[in-house]
Amino acid sequence: MTSIDDWMARRVTVHLITSGPAGPVLKGARVLFGQDPQDVARGLGGLPEDVPLVALDVLTETVSLPRGRALHVDRIVFAEPQLVAAWPSVVPTEGLTPPAPALAAEEEPAPEGSRPRLRRFASYGIVTDPAGRVLLSLIADGYPAAGTWHLPGGGVDTGEDVRAALRREVLEESGQAAVVGELITVASHRRAQSTGTDVYAVWVFSHVHVAEPTTPRVVEVAGSTADCAWFTPAELTELSLSTTARRGLEFLVRHRRRG
């Protein structure tokens, strides 16, 4: 049976608002396997590796290609802190570059004898309610980091955008109707699985709010979530958290300090 992944390829690009000769300009580049999006963005602006960037948006673009194929492009937009207000007026009339057709070519294959590669693009939420509680999900047995508490979220399906994916995942994992709010940051993670697979993931972290929280319940059947619950900030310190949850909460703290 043919699936959408058989005819729609996935690509990731990064875009940076940086200073040009006549004012703010927007530069873009493709993100290859294993590259950190923020490092690619700094390279576009010729910036030192310790310069902080502000994640502004993640845009999803789907286009048709010749011979009955299509392309799904996730475009990550960063800005130098002093140039945030230039978004989105800096977008050229012809759209973001590189244009989707220029991204059709496959990457160079992995060197012979290297591990099989798996690439993921995922959307995770720091989910809160009016009382300030945080929603977490427990990873089920048989999945990486089983038994740790995780941020609601997961892989973005082909043809889906990061916000729709996050709303879907929160509903499946906890039964909560959520509103996706401010983008916190975009990061990457690379690890080798026990199967010998080289796994590279781009993680999008957003703030998510549940205005009318209910008792959490796992809706998906036979999925990666074993349980879910609301926790106060004080209770979070007593939990065994996944790497994704730890990094996401650390990003949130830095994001609030910067704001």
Q: What is the pLDDT of residues 207-217, one digit of tens each?
A: 999 999 999 99
5: how many CB neighbours lie within 10 A of its CB? 12
CATH 3.90.79.10 domain residues, the chain: 117-258
**In terms of CATH architecture, what is 117-258?**
Alpha-Beta Complex (3.90)
Instruction: Identify the band that residue 257 occupies on the pLDDT scale cut at 50, 70 and 90.
Output: low
236 phi/psi in degrees, rounded to 5: -60, -30
pLDDT at 3: 63
Distance of CA 206 to the CA centre of its chain: 8
Quote the pTM value. 0.92
Q: What is the Cα–Cα distance from 72 to 63, expressed in whole angstroms?
A: 7
